[in-house]
Structure 1
Amino acid sequence: MTRAAPPSSGRADTGSVPLPTGSTASAAPVASGRGAAGAARRVAASPVLLGVAVVLVHLWLGHAALTGPNQPMGDVLSVYSTWMQRGVGAGDWVGIDRPWVYPILAAVPMLLARVGGPEHYGTAWLTIVLLLDAAALAVLTRGGRRELAAAWWWLAFLVVLGPIAVGRIDAVTVALALVGLLLLTARPALAAALLTVAAWVKVWPAALVVAALIAVRRRRDVLTAAVTTSAVVVAISLVLGSGATVLGFVGQQAGRGLQVESLTAVPWLWRAASGAADTTVYYDRDILTFQVAGPGVALAAQATTVVMALVVIAVVLLGLRAVRSGASAERLLAPLSLGLVTALIVTNKVGSPQFVSWLAVPVVVGLVLQRRGGPSFVVPAALSLVVAGLTQVIYPWCYDSLLAAEPWIVLVATLRGVAEVGLLALAAAQLWRLGRTATAGRGRMGA
């Protein structure tokens, strides 16, 4: 936030003493600067300008996704569309007729993207993402000018993250999860339902359901809505004939190796960069991802699941400690959400670049809640932009260099990993302080 310039230490006397010439000259730039800052704020507060910016940002992201190197829209155009074509044309539906890497509701936006026919699948997908993001921004800014800073930050984050922000199923979950977390104050049941739907598209928003259960007072509403929504999804899936396949994504994820973009893969990338013959990057045709192979990789891939569970539990315990100390939801929700989301990113053996898009949800909510008594989220917001920018360098622009384990791009991946760990540490530090200093004087969200 731009602060107004402090008043001059010496004011001109408005009595009989004439105003010095020098004072007049120096006052003009100050007034001009204040006027320029005010004009800039008024322009930024324009709903029309924000709407135009949303469209322009998504047009650029879509163009980069369709034309950039290393196929940023490859999953959408080659994988998602093929899955849906098999379902429509041959009745072979992923998640129902055979196990799938995603939860069952991921098929909904993939199927909707066929509305313009197979030849326009990519354009339809990008339009769906644009509409979802625009709807999320409309919910975000419904409170007026107070939330515009968070809205502009999110648009900046999308630009800095690049085409991967729109080229994967994660884009759908980010918009749904953001709306869910923003509605938690007024409509906890509806918010929990939206978060649960997002988790049935891709699992990670389940962490936000956990954060809501810990942070808000109306836990029964949140839990009931989450359980009911999940029951409806499973029931519909069973009616469609899925059987146990409805949970097939759990086994699919468990069978993955150590993906090249993950933080855990960095030591082996450095081994490959140093010329070690026993460490390589290869393409797994079953999972359709690049993974690392080398001494100890299998053990490390297995250990990540245990480490993830331990880190998530540690973050949850910090959140529960803060609740016991009387921390209000306004102060607790954002750092707890950030801690859980970054825990999933840092400890994940997959580590796909689109995972970074998840950071937008807790950071945007943190920027909103810091105006309502929550902890400052300026530093996490800035560090998230750094993570996003380094991610775009890695993918799509320099992905070939990463696959070749060139030292400079391995260094970029290392720095990004350090920044991600830094975000986790910031969230943990905020939670620790809340557990030590929180007071019960602030009303709880949803009370």
Structure 2
Amino acid sequence: MAEDVVDAVDGRRRPARLRRALGGRGALWAAFAVVHVALVAINLSGAGNALGDVTLVYRVWAETAQHGWVRMGIDVPWVYPILAFAPMTAALAFGSEWYGATWLGLVTVLDAIAFGVLLGSGTLSRRRRAAAWWWVAFLVLLGPIALGRIDAVTVPFAVVGLLWAAGRPRVAAALLTIGAWIKVWPAALVAALVVASRRRGEVVIVAAALTAGILGVSVLAGSGGNALGFVAEQAGRGLQVESPFAVPWLWWIVGGTREATIAYDRDILTFQIEGPGADAAAALTTPVMALGAVLVLVAGLRAARRGAHLVALLPPLALAFTTVLIVANKVGSPQFVTWLAAPVILGIVLGGGRHLVPAGLALAIAVLTQVIYPYWYGWLLIANPGFVVVLTVKVVLLVLLLLWAVRAVWQAGSARTPSDESAA
């Protein structure tokens, strides 16, 4: 009988010990390391050439500048903001043959810094633990693209910037502005911070001063108008096959039409839709995106004017702005899904269970993205019905995520939520 009691007590203790082990920093850091090692290995040797943009495009740009031939964004217009060239050049640190590995190491280090900030140095709260495990799961489900594009460099800036938004708004503004000058999308987070923060004046001043400094240095380096060339370069793109707006044409192709096709654009290096109305749809994405951003801004300003607390307003507002940029986008590249990490992490840290829906939707979107890219991307390029279904479901989930975020922003302005800004 005594042995049975001991066994029962030990049986109850084992799950408790397991929970404590999995909830500790050691387990989280071990998971972080295992996932990043696996993603690095897949990028370097896995199927689908997920690192192709890095080794075949970024490296060429970096080498042409190194040899003094052409500096992208300085000597010629470029598709990216000027600071994108910094990590691309840094990846040459150990030579051209190690470019891909160096790039992946750089992204891993940046992720580790952001992960450390997320875990913090004090007592590890349940929400931060949950956010850290969510991020690890998100990376697994999204796959190699999570590290293999310039977007991966901006995610750690965005994560840390949002986590520090309440207590260190000036530092947050600086980090998010730097991220925006690497890849435009963190500008949406700057806008969310300006609306949600009670110290918005400081945020605007820091963002404006840093932007002026970056542009000033670029002009001194000889860029002229090329420093803003990414605006025109993006505006001139066609309707990319992964774009949400491309789904009707993909179903048209599935239906057997010969009027619409999927073609490779050698100037932009992407697969795009060609057919009746495709160019008009591509042109329509810009005003639709602007309208969507304005509507989100209006909802955010309403909430702020009604006294919504930063803790209640900033996570859904950041998520709404970010999702608008993905849904109303003529490009729709798989790496855009990495943008969801920062606002979702912030939502889990500040809102806990209230953000289970966007956390779950983002995980589902991530796994559907990996189903399409990089392993079976070719099936989408021939409009295989199964993969068009996968893309369609992904778009539907993105729309649902946007609707959830807009609703949460509206609710933040309808009822005050007692919170503490220092929770960030």
Distance across 2 between alignment mates of 1:322 and 1:25: 59
Q: Which residue of 1 aligns with 2:330?
A: 349
The letter of the residue matching 1:178 is V
| Structure 1 stretches of at least 4 aligned residues deviating more than 4 Å after TM superposition | 24-29, 31-34, 441-447
Distance across 2 between alignment mates of 1:427 and 1:395: 26
Q: Which residue of 1 aligns with 2:289?
A: 308
Deviations 1:118-151 (A, max 9, x none): 0000000000011000000000111532111111
**Aligned counterparts, 1:188-207, within 5 A:** 188-207=169-188
Distance across 2 between alignment mates of 1:443 and 1:51: 28
Q: Are the equivalent residues in 1 in contact too, given 2:193–2:314 (CA < 8 A)?
A: yes
Distance across 1 between alignment mates of 2:71 and 2:206: 28
Q: Which residue of 2 aligns with 1:252?
A: 233
Q: Which residue of 2 aligns with 1:134?
A: 112
Q: Secondary structure at the match of 2:92?
A: helix
- 229, 243, 250: which one aligns with 2:224: 243
Post-superposition shift, 1:275? 1.3
Post-superposition shift, 1:46? 2.7
Q: Are the equivalent residues in 2 in contact too, given 1:281–1:403 (CA < 8 A)?
A: yes
Post-superposition shift, 1:394? 0.5
The letter of the residue matching 1:359 is L
The letter of the residue matching 2:123 is G
Length-normalised TM-score, structure 1: 0.90
Say if 2:90 is the partner of 1:144: no
Q: Secondary structure at the match of 1:350?
A: coil
Say if 2:141 is the partner of 1:160: yes
The letter of the residue matching 2:144 is P
State the structure with more CA Rg: 1
Say if 2:12 is the partner of 1:60: no
Q: Which runs of 5+ in 1 are unaligned?
A: 1-20
Q: Which residue of 2 aligns with 1:295?
A: 276
**Aligned counterparts, 1:17-416, within 5 A:** 34-142=12-120, 143-146=122-125, 147-371=128-352, 376-416=354-394
Distance across 1 between alignment mates of 2:33 and 2:423: 33
Change (3 A) 1:192 1:252: same
Q: Secondary structure at the match of 1:241?
A: coil
Q: Are the equivalent residues in 1 in contact too, given 2:166–2:421 (CA < 8 A)?
A: no
The letter of the residue matching 2:104 is L
Distance across 1 between alignment mates of 2:123 and 2:142: 26
Change (3 A) 1:254 1:45: same
Post-superposition shift, 1:37? 3.7
Q: Which residue of 2 aligns with 1:8?
A: none
Distance across 2 between alignment mates of 1:166 and 1:337: 22
Change (3 A) 1:98 1:37: same
Distance across 1 between alignment mates of 2:321 and 2:18: 36
The letter of the residue matching 1:216 is S
Q: Are the equivalent residues in 2 in contact too, given 1:262–1:352 (CA < 8 A)?
A: yes
Post-superposition shift, 1:35? 2.7
Change (3 A) 1:339 1:25: farther
